[in-house]
Amino acid sequence: MKRLRGILGYTAAVLTIAVAVLGPLVWFGFFTRAAAKTSLRIDPAYTGGEPARTIARDSYQIVIYKPVQKRAPLSPIGSFVQIVWKPVSALPATVSEQLDLDGDGQPDCVVSFQAPRNPRATLHVDVKPLTALVKPMNGVSKESFSSLIARVNDTIVVRVPLR
Query: What pLDDT, in 10s, does the model give residues 82-92?
Result: 999 999 999 99
Check whether residue 100 and residue 147 sit in a common domain: yes
Check whether residue 63 and residue 78 sit in a common domain: yes
Check whether residue 69 and residue 107 sit in a common domain: yes
Query: What pLDDT, in 10s, does the model give residues 133-156?
Result: 999 999 999 888 889 999 999 999
Give the residue numbers spanning the domain of 15: 1-40
Check whether residue 150 and residue 101 sit in a common domain: yes
- Find out whether 127 and 58 touch, Cβ atoms under 8 Å: no
Check whether residue 140 and residue 98 sit in a common domain: yes
Nearest to 1 by CA among 31, 26, 68, 9: 9
Find residue 95's DSSP bridge partners. Answer: 113
pTM: 0.76
Check whether residue 33 and residue 76 sit in a common domain: no
Query: What pLDDT, in 10s, does the model give residues 101-132?
Result: 998 999 999 999 999 989 899 999 999 999 99
Check whether residue 61 and residue 103 sit in a common domain: yes
Burial 40-65 (b: 16+ CB within 10 A, else e): eeeebbeebbeeeeeeeeeebebbbb
Q: Which residues contact residue 95 at a Cβ distance below 8 angstroms, ignoring those fewer than 6 apart? A: 85, 111, 112, 113, 114, 115, 156
Check whether residue 65 and residue 141 sit in a common domain: yes
- Find out whether 19 and 27 touch, Cβ atoms under 8 Å: no
CA distance 157 to 97: 14
Check whether residue 99 and residue 51 sit in a common domain: yes
pLDDT band at 78 (very low <50, low <70, confident <90, very high): confident
Check whether residue 107 and residue 32 sit in a common domain: no
- Find out whether 97 and 134 touch, Cβ atoms under 8 Å: no
CA angle 158–160–163, rounded 5-degree value: 170
Q: Kindly tell me if the per-residue pLDDT of 97 is higher than 90.
A: yes
Higher pLDDT, 62 or 119: 62
Check whether residue 4 and residue 71 sit in a common domain: no
